[in-house]
A and B are shown apart, each in its own frame.
Chain A
């Protein structure tokens, strides 16, 4: 009974994240924000470390720190001569390094670093499920509400501005949604593999879709399937859950490339 419980929780958690990861992942792919997602994910580790150090709920700090980093990034981008790429590289890895150092320095705290870095899907609790579903619902709700303007901004920012959309606000909203989804996806695949869960299903769906909506729904379905396949792999082969989910997604991507080529 206990065995089926944790498997069920794991599956439900994966599903909750996959629903939001699909459409958000599409924006990450369309807007070429992969590196940006990595940076936010890495800074989430720093958020956890700071949360423990300052005795603040880590579920809060783990969302807030990526947001602060995102805001710093936007401001720095306009001021330095460095390319966004290099800037992201610097911030991303500095945040990861700082997080790792802080966690190592924390006294009397036993943190399972591996589960933070690579996820611990099988340790999901009922409380985690609640958090995942609430955050996922808000993220999906925001994406749905802002869908048309977000697509317009993705196609062309200047045209979107002239047609009356508040691009600055939309960009901030997208950052907020990304930070939220990263926070819950961490449970599933861990900090180092989060962007994979966003990008791979979306990239898989791209060739098989004709509208943005189709692609978003398909990406969610592929992410869900990846979670299920990954869990099955963990169950039968005793592999780590997070990496298994990601490798399942990669296999689906490979298949879609072959199938997509044959049909087109």
Chain B
């Protein structure tokens, strides 16, 4: 049964004279992964913050389930270098017991770094620490803003798989912001292509064929130009993969 956790209708948002979001409506459903893609400056993060209730829209409404528990993984986090904080203490800020916090670190695979200062973590480890903090909320809804940023290509796949598994275990709705659709294609249920307004949306296979999507991102093959790992895309393996996705 589709349980609707949160819905936005006709959301508009301006910053100064600049319109960031125009007439956005969406709903998030338990057990479903929704991916938000779009070019830089398309308003993805702003939309996520409206979903989270951190930013209030100029017009439109946000309705959500009573006592909705949200786990949020921000795009980046800036902790001052002078603040001495271990990774365990970082996740303990959630006010959960040390035991639960350690378990969460174990779940995301960085239990061995519990005593490491949070600013000593690598990009991938920091993302996992943020994910641990998000799942400690026992969330109904997970909002992930570019969760694989600063993570190498192998780590990206691992992290996406982990998020997918966790979403299943927690039985929550997921709203994920991503640059590159092809990496999340297999795990996402619904794609929203955003460029201030919703250009198109639907199942991933359907969206990649949409003229509006192609207009912004080009043909499915050229999605690879968005990829961070350029060396890799120049090699045979990557080309083979893109032909496959183009034929879908």
Q: Is the CB of A162 within 8 A of B85?
A: no
Docked-complex contact A209 and B54, CB < 8 angstroms: no
Contact yes or no, B54 A158, CB < 8 A:
yes
Interface size class of A (residues with CB under 8 A): 20 to 34
Provide the bound-state CA to CA distance between A152 and B95, in Å. Answer: 10
Secondary structure at the A interface, as helix, strand, loop or mixed, is helix
The reply to whether B54 and A163 contact each other, CB–CB distance below 8 Å, is no
B94 and A163 contacting across the interface, CB-CB below 8 Å: yes
Q: Mark B59-80, 1 if CB is under 8 A from A, else 0.
A: 0000000000011101001111
A205-263: which have CB < 8 Å to B?
Answer: 206, 209-212, 214-215
Q: Which residues of A contact B74 (CB under 8 A)?
A: 156, 158-159
Tell me which of A31, A160, A163, A212 contacts B84 (CB under 8 A): A212
Q: Mark A146-168, 1 if CB is under 8 A from B, else 0.
A: 00100110111011111100000
* Residue among A29, A152, A163 with most chain B CB within 10 A: A163
Known: A148-B93, A152-B93. A162 touches B54 (CB 8 A): yes
Determine if A32 is an interface residue (Cβ-Cβ < 8 Å). Answer: yes
Question: Which single member of A148, A161, A211 contacts B85 (CB below 8 Å)?
Answer: A211
For residue A139, CB closer than 8 A to chain B, the reply is: no
Give Cα A155 to B86, complex, Å. 12
Name B82's contact: one of A29, A151, A159, A161 (CB within 8 Å): A29
CB–CB A29/B80 < 8 A: yes
Q: CB distance B54 to A214 under 8 Å?
A: no
Chain A residues whose CB sits within 8 angstroms of the CB of B77 once the complex forms:
155-156, 159
With most chain B CB atoms within 10 A of its CB, the pick from A152, A155, A215 is A155
A218 to B4, CA, bound (A): 51
* B72–A159 CB distance below 8 A: yes
Q: Are A148 and B95 in contact (CB-based, < 8 A)? A: yes
Per-position contact with A for B136-148: 1 when CB-CB < 8 Å, else 0? 0100000000000
Distance, CA A32 to CA B71, complexed state (A): 27
Nearest Cβ distance between residue A147 and chain B, in whole angstroms?
A: 11
Instruction: Note all chain A residues with C-beta closer than 8 A to B52.
Output: 158, 162
Determine the main DSSP class of B at the interface with A.
loop
Closest to A157 in B: B54
Please pick, from B49, B53, B83, B86, the residue contacting A30 in the complex, using a CB distance under 8 A. B83
Contact of A151 among B49, B78, B86, B93 (CB under 8 A): B93
Please give, as numbers and ranges, the residues of chain A lying within 8 Å of B179 by CB-CB distance: none
A248 to B104, CA, bound (A): 45
Within 8 A of B (CB), among A2-56: 29-32
Query: Chain B nearest CB: distance from A201 CB in Å?
Result: 12
**Which B residues, 82 to 113, have Cβ-Cβ distances below 8 Å to chain A?**
82-86, 89-90, 93-95
Question: Does B128 touch A at the CB level, under 8 Å?
Answer: no
Q: Does A203 contact B (CB under 8 A)?
A: yes
List the B side residues contacting A31 at CB < 8 Å.
80
CB-CB < 8 A to B89: which residues of A? 211-212
Q: Which residue of B lies closest to A203 (CB)?
A: B82
CB distance from B107 to the nearest CB of A (A): 18
**Within the complex, what minimum Cβ distance (angstroms) separates B169 from chain A?**
21
Interface contact B82-A155, CB-CB below 8 Å: no
Chain A residue at smallest Cβ distance from B89:
A211
A159 in contact with B133 (CB, 8 Å): yes
- Give the nearest-CB partner of A160 in chain B: B93
Asked if A202 lies at the interface with its beta carbon under 8 angstroms from chain B, I say yes
Q: What A residues does B94 contact at CB under 8 A?
A: 163
With both chains docked as a complex, state the minimum distance between the C-beta of A154 and any C-beta of chain B, in angstroms.
Answer: 7
Known: A31-B80, A163-B137. A212 touches B85 (CB 8 A): yes
- Once the chains bind, are B83 and A155 in contact (CB under 8 Å)? yes
Q: How far is the CA of A210 from the CA of B117 in the complex (A)?
A: 8
- How distant is B170 from chain A, measured CB to nearest CB, in Å? 16
Given contacts A158-B72, A162-B70, contact A202 B84 (CB under 8 A): no
- Nearest CB to that of B136 among chain A residues? A163
Asked if B72 and A162 make an inter-chain contact with CB atoms under 8 angstroms apart, the answer reads yes
- Give a binary string over B175-215; 1 marks a CB under 8 Å from any A CB, 0 the rest: 00000000000000000000000000000000000000000
6 A-B pairs with the lowest CB-CB distances in the bound complex, closest first = A206-B82, A152-B93, A30-B83, A30-B80, A209-B84, A162-B72
Interface residues of A (CB under 8 A from B): 29-32, 148, 151-152, 154-156, 158-163, 202-203, 206, 209-212, 214-215
Known contacts A148-B95, A162-B72, A210-B86; 14 additional CB pairs below 8 A are A30-B82, A148-B93, A152-B93, A159-B77, A161-B54, A162-B70, A163-B93, A163-B95, A163-B137, A202-B82, A211-B85, A211-B89, A212-B84, A215-B84
